[in-house]
Structure 1
């Protein structure tokens, strides 16, 4: 009898890029965050678990602290995990293998990777928001909340102007001025690399909203991957908030893409106010799980609390 394929731990330098990307590409649970070109720009340092001849793969983005390697979720990478979605048995084998190589893990799996029953692993529900665009615009508007409709009406009285495909440099300068507190120091450089690649390959574009004085007040980087258009990164300033510019932009974007066999993927969020904003456009939650374990020796557990 032939032996069943084994899960191998493969160092980053030894990963077969073509086979890796082909596995992600054909997976039903394909996510843009799992391609090697994305991980190379966000995680920078990552290894992998590979089953058989790249039949299943799992990226392992890690950092080091006091010489101890630990898994973490890279910026601009909402969902990782195992690709394609494995059986419950194989899923458990992957987790066991992860625990052989790492003492600590805090990562987010994709929506088709189910939680496991393991007292050493904490599985916490998280939510993404998806809006189907396959209906006509009138039907989609019917799913808007009253609050959203009211804010769209207010925005339409402000003589705003949308430009499709604004310059990357303008967006990054605007983003830098309006960064949320606690943003990592290298976040803008990583974002620049991702958007530049997306624009070069033709699957990403930045939309900007301008005031009557021709000042940028809100902007979003959208990228299309397979059947998802991802609301990948956004920025607004106080003027944009006052003018409801993001409501204006999203409503127009939904109108332009209605009737297509696509989902608008809002990428979250677990922040109640942001979740209400997304759900106000009729988007519905997509559940995925954060998997966390801490098997560090007693004196070191406090390092990752």
Structure 2
């Protein structure tokens, strides 16, 4: 790390949008979640650490509680961290600068942000799941699990219909009716903004599965960015789950995109059942790290338990 260059804390209003996005766009570890337009829709409030003239950057999504500012991971943003891929010295410097500014952090880095052994107490492994679509469809399905093949076969008998490019309004209405427990309904508004932007720019599309009665029972918003297609957001109702509609949809998507230079990014999960679902399509785990520490004064530690 050059002694002439420093890491600066830059407030959101002072961030150079053009230089920021150029840095993310040119990074080997580029992730769509780190562009300013995505952060503005998900984090709402975020500042940044910037090294040199935007040679390395790190978004800092934050919230405040009782006047204390802390870092958190915004919804619909799987991996953030440092961009581009940092050396050990750059990585350590960014983490040190983060700890200087924030007494509490609970954020996820990207897969090419790898901590050293000396600070392992604040980093925790997480798993993403990736499936290469470069092979032909027959080769890809040979990697499916027996359970996945069984569910696809079951779905194929249900007279389901897959529609590519369903309306945003139809998806959001369906999503709102089938929110997982604990998810705030306001999350749908953020999702609407993200999907609308993706549709406007032409890199996002929603696939829907309809029952014989023409009712939507499962849907996925796929986001195509560079060499990745992200399984960005999905929803099923009970009928969709019982019929295996999501297996049917993903299998069709894989068939449509086989032999392309693409990675299907499932975004991963630490929930065993969801992990099995992704792995069932032959997706392979990729490790990324969760940065979490709590150095709040004893009086305040209870705030973030």
TM-score by length of 2: 0.98
Q: Hey, what's the Cα distance between the residues in 1 that align with 2:75 and 2:211?
A: 31
The answer on 1:304 being equivalent to 2:290 is no
Does the C-alpha gap of structure 1 residues 164 and 156 become closer, same or farther in structure 2, counting only changes over 3 Å? Answer: same
Task: Give the match's secondary structure for 2:80.
Answer: coil
Residues 116 and 123 in structure 1, CA contact (< 8 A), matched pair in contact too: no
TM-score by length of 1: 0.98
Residues 121 and 291 in structure 1, CA contact (< 8 A), matched pair in contact too: no
Q: Hey, what's the Cα distance between the residues in 1 that align with 2:84 and 2:60?
A: 15
Q: Hey, what's the Cα distance between the residues in 2 that align with 1:85 and 1:4?
A: 20
Show the 5 A alignment for 1:1-305: 3-118=3-118, 121-305=121-305
Does the C-alpha gap of structure 1 residues 137 and 277 become closer, same or farther in structure 2, counting only changes over 3 Å? Answer: same
Root mean square deviation, CA, Å: 1.1
Q: How many residues align?
A: 304
Q: Hey, what's the Cα distance between the residues in 2 that align with 1:120 and 1:262?
A: 33
C-alpha displacement of 1:122: 1.4
Unmatched segments (≥5 aa) in structure 1? none
Q: Hey, what's the Cα distance between the residues in 2 that align with 1:145 and 1:121?
A: 36
C-alpha displacement of 1:90: 1.1
Q: Hey, what's the Cα distance between the residues in 2 that align with 1:27 and 1:120?
A: 25
Unmatched segments (≥5 aa) in structure 2? none
Residues 176 and 185 in structure 2, CA contact (< 8 A), matched pair in contact too: no
Q: Hey, what's the Cα distance between the residues in 2 that align with 1:276 and 1:255?
A: 20
Does the C-alpha gap of structure 1 residues 119 and 133 become closer, same or farther in structure 2, counting only changes over 3 Å? Answer: closer
